A and B are shown apart, each in its own frame.
Chain A
Amino acid sequence: MKKTYKIEVDCANCANKMEDAARKVAGVQDVTVNFMALKMNVVFEEGADPAAVMREVAAACKKVEDDCEIYL
């Protein structure tokens, strides 16, 4: 299943760090962060619960980049 979320992030490097951190979260098969369009496209693994996985993704991103926001 794929979903797209609106995000807010200040610098392009931070966007890359968010992408790396999100990819490592369990339940995430693949993720692309589009810094220019401020979007995050997530492909969830089979049977994963998007809401729960995204909460973990948000927490992981906050760790690497305090200033970022993911609008769930």
Chain B
Amino acid sequence: MTQKQKKMLIRILVAAALMIVLHFLPRFVQIGNIPLFLLWLIPYGIIGYDILKKAWKGILNKQIFDENFLMAVATLGALAIGLLKTGDYDEAVAVMLFYQVGELFQSYAVGKSRRNISELMDIRPDYANIEQDGQTVRMDPDGVEVGTVIVVNPGEKIPIDGVVENGESSLNTSALTGESVPRDVKAGDEVVSGCINMSGVLRIRTTKEFGESTVSKVLDLVENASSRKSRSENFIARFARWYTPVVVIGAAALAVLPPLVRLALSLSPDWSDWVYRALTFLVISCPCALVISIPLSFFAGIGGAGKAGILIKGSNYLETLARTGTVVFDKTGTLTKGVFDVVDIHHSELDRETLLEYAALAECASSHPIAASIRKAWGKPIDMSRVGKVEETGGNGVVVEIDGRQVAAGNSRLMRRLGIEPIECRSAGTIVHMAMDGRYAGHFVISDVVKPDAAEAIAALKRAGVRTTVMLTGDGPSAAAQVAEALGIDKVHSNLLPGDKVDKVEELLAGQKAGKTLAFVGDGINDAPVLSRADLGIAMGAMGSDAAIEAADVVLMDDSPLKVSKAIRIARKCMGIVKQNIVFAIGVKIACLVLGALGIANMWLAVFADVGVMILAVLNAIRALFVSKL
């Protein structure tokens, strides 16, 4: 508790004690109305002086519909009724007391949530070790220049992104990914800040500044995510804007109209009765419960997700995530490991080694994972001097001059473009056809390995309520169909050029059910246009990839597809809590307003409608933080 909060707690306890004393006093001591009134002013003053001060300042600043003003009017009015009629001052002081209790609770709960969530994400390292003149010096990570060698001992957090210069160790990535699967690293490996070094001493040459390192980016992202307001939050803000004036006007009408009508009907006006009802109205008029609990729910949801390695960039994305009806996956690298292997060679007239050699030479300059697999299958050094002109066409393959001969390596599209009829393959997998000097030379069967948890991930999505799963790939239909069947995916679109993927997503978007959203899951690097076209772009395997973190709306730090369903479950839980709070708060308030107007509710009920609802709503909101079991 802060100093301010402690002071308030003391005031509350003192005022409550005095209240109890004064409540029982008239039974033991004969005391006149005026002296009793003055005595009651003491606890009232203790508990309410700052509200009265703020109300006064509010009037000076023309802030009429200020909750301080309302509380002041309500309680002063109740005191007046006590003085003039009932001799009862309990309610006036009690209302003020409970209001202050509510404010204190709100302040404490919000402060604690902020601290909890900050600590949850307290992955920021405080120092970096640098070797200077043979000594290890501890420095502020902010001051470490790019290219400096830092030392990270076992048990320490890696403070800045870099490359291992020497040392071998195991890293704990749970701070970033929420998973405790260790990652082994050795010299030459890239390492990411925020990971905890477990076994061996590492010397790391930094490749970024502290502010640009992964850990700083992740923290910034989570902190600023709650600045992007959701539709629910905007709704609440608009609601609060008109709710208070409407209730105040309602209170004024309630205080004045019925008595006047009664006078006109020659009945006794019962002013104090109606004024009392109006005062209860005023007490219920604060929308605090809604205005505080809804942002808190989103803050907790985003914080909880961050701890699980799921970075949601805004409260609005959390909302979109909860309404996901269709998930579209990119195949390579998302559902599959993205590591290709040559599994077979068919229809080759040349001997297999030679064909492989030519293929490896043809693919020497390509960065495509399929090219990498061919080079890996060849395994031997590549003499680039034999390679002349290289022409690479995205979605087709390469046409290359080797030893003066024209060699083509690519898919059936490329073959047909060159006027060569390819021999199709019955095996599943990606087929790379070869042609030499305009003649068909055979093909390679290249297979990608599905991620071990991909099938479980699709099943989990279905359980989480996602109706349709779709896979998009540039690979051939048989390879795609094989993967789709193994994983249980509903729709497959294969042979897609990079531009086709955007079109397919547009098609799927057009066919979406109203109120449901479409999420696209990719690796962020090649999929930027599709990520932005979908309702929600999810990038996987983002640890260490700045491009992925930038491109997507939801960033999954590790590369397990299971995280997608977890993200959806977290979002649904959070939105569920938000809806519960909205319905509960508005429902209870309206019910109490009606009861108050009818005279059935007294101020105690009004206080519950205000403070009690707020406390319950805040406690409910904090539930959004607990995501580990999801």
- The distance from the CB of A19 to the nearest CB of chain B, in whole angstroms, is 8
B299 partner, pick from A13, A36, A41, A66, beta carbons under 8 A: A36
**Residues on B with beta carbons closer than 8 Å to the beta carbon of A41:** 224, 227
Q: Does A69 contact B (CB under 8 A)?
A: no
A11 to B51, CA, bound (A): 14
With A11-B106, A16-B237, A63-B61 as known contacts, state yes or no: A36 contacts B295, CB within 8 Å: yes
**Residues on B with beta carbons closer than 8 Å to the beta carbon of A64:** 61, 63
A64 to B69, CA, bound (A): 13
> In the complex, how many residues of chain B place their beta carbon closer than 8 angstroms to a beta carbon of chain A?
29
A11 partner, pick from B113, B114, B288, beta carbons under 8 A: B288
With A12-B295, A64-B61 as known contacts, state yes or no: A38 contacts B114, CB within 8 Å: yes
- The distance from the CB of A54 to the nearest CB of chain B, in whole angstroms, is 17
Q: Does A51 contact B (CB under 8 A)?
A: no
A1 to B14, CA, bound (A): 50
A35-72: CB near B (< 8 Å → 1, else 0) gives 11111010000000000000000000001101100000
- B291: nearest chain-A partner, CB-CB: A12
Q: Does B57 contact A (CB under 8 A)?
A: yes
In contact, A12 and B288 (Cβ under 8 angstroms): yes
**Residues on A with beta carbons closer than 8 Å to the beta carbon of B226:** 34, 36-37
With A11-B292, A38-B114 as known contacts, state yes or no: A16 contacts B227, CB within 8 Å: no
- A4: nearest chain-B partner, CB-CB: B224
In contact, A37 and B103 (Cβ under 8 angstroms): no
- The distance from the CB of B394 to the nearest CB of chain A, in whole angstroms, is 37
In contact, B227 and A13 (Cβ under 8 angstroms): no
- The distance from the CB of A44 to the nearest CB of chain B, in whole angstroms, is 16
> In the complex, how many residues of chain A place their beta carbon closer than 8 angstroms to a beta carbon of chain B?
17
- The distance from the CB of B309 to the nearest CB of chain A, in whole angstroms, is 20
B46-70: CB near A (< 8 Å → 1, else 0) gives 0000000010011001010001000
- B225: nearest chain-A partner, CB-CB: A37
**Residues on A with beta carbons closer than 8 Å to the beta carbon of B57:** 66
B567-594: CB near A (< 8 Å → 1, else 0) gives 0000000000000000000000000000
Q: Does B204 contact A (CB under 8 A)?
A: no
A16 to B286, CA, bound (A): 14
- B60: nearest chain-A partner, CB-CB: A63
A10 to B105, CA, bound (A): 12
- A13: nearest chain-B partner, CB-CB: B291
**Residues on A with beta carbons closer than 8 Å to the beta carbon of B113:** 36
Q: Does B110 contact A (CB under 8 A)?
A: yes
With A16-B240, A37-B223, A66-B57 as known contacts, state yes or no: A32 contacts B229, CB within 8 Å: yes
**Residues on B with beta carbons closer than 8 Å to the beta carbon of A66:** 54, 57-58, 61
- The distance from the CB of A33 to the nearest CB of chain B, in whole angstroms, is 8
In contact, B61 and A16 (Cβ under 8 angstroms): no
B287 partner, pick from A13, A37, A38, A63, beta carbons under 8 A: A13
A33 to B493, CA, bound (A): 44
Q: Does B296 contact A (CB under 8 A)?
A: yes
A11 to B291, CA, bound (A): 9
A16 to B291, CA, bound (A): 9
Interface residues of B in 277-297 (CB under 8 A from A): 286-288, 291-292, 295-296
Interface residues of B in 200-229 (CB under 8 A from A): 223-224, 226-227, 229
Q: Does B180 contact A (CB under 8 A)?
A: no
With A12-B292, A13-B288, A64-B61 as known contacts, state yes or no: A36 contacts B114, CB within 8 Å: yes
In contact, B224 and A39 (Cβ under 8 angstroms): yes
In contact, B107 and A34 (Cβ under 8 angstroms): no
- Among B113, B224, B298, chain A packs the most CB atoms within 10 A around the CB of B224
- The distance from the CB of A23 to the nearest CB of chain B, in whole angstroms, is 12
In contact, A36 and B110 (Cβ under 8 angstroms): yes
In contact, B107 and A13 (Cβ under 8 angstroms): no
In contact, B67 and A13 (Cβ under 8 angstroms): yes
- B50: nearest chain-A partner, CB-CB: A67
- The distance from the CB of A53 to the nearest CB of chain B, in whole angstroms, is 19
- A34: nearest chain-B partner, CB-CB: B227
B352-381: CB near A (< 8 Å → 1, else 0) gives 000000000000000000000000000000
A66 to B103, CA, bound (A): 16
**Residues on B with beta carbons closer than 8 Å to the beta carbon of A38:** 114
- A17: nearest chain-B partner, CB-CB: B63
- The distance from the CB of B53 to the nearest CB of chain A, in whole angstroms, is 9
**Residues on A with beta carbons closer than 8 Å to the beta carbon of B224:** 34, 37, 39, 41
A35 to B226, CA, bound (A): 9
In contact, A11 and B54 (Cβ under 8 angstroms): no
A12 to B110, CA, bound (A): 10
In contact, A63 and B63 (Cβ under 8 angstroms): yes
**Residues on A with beta carbons closer than 8 Å to the beta carbon of B106:** 11
- The distance from the CB of A68 to the nearest CB of chain B, in whole angstroms, is 12
| 6 A-B residue pairings within 8 Å (CB atoms) | A36-B226, A37-B114, A39-B223, A63-B61, A64-B63, A66-B58
Q: Which residues of A contact B (CB under 8 A)?
A: 10-13, 16, 32, 34-39, 41, 63-64, 66-67
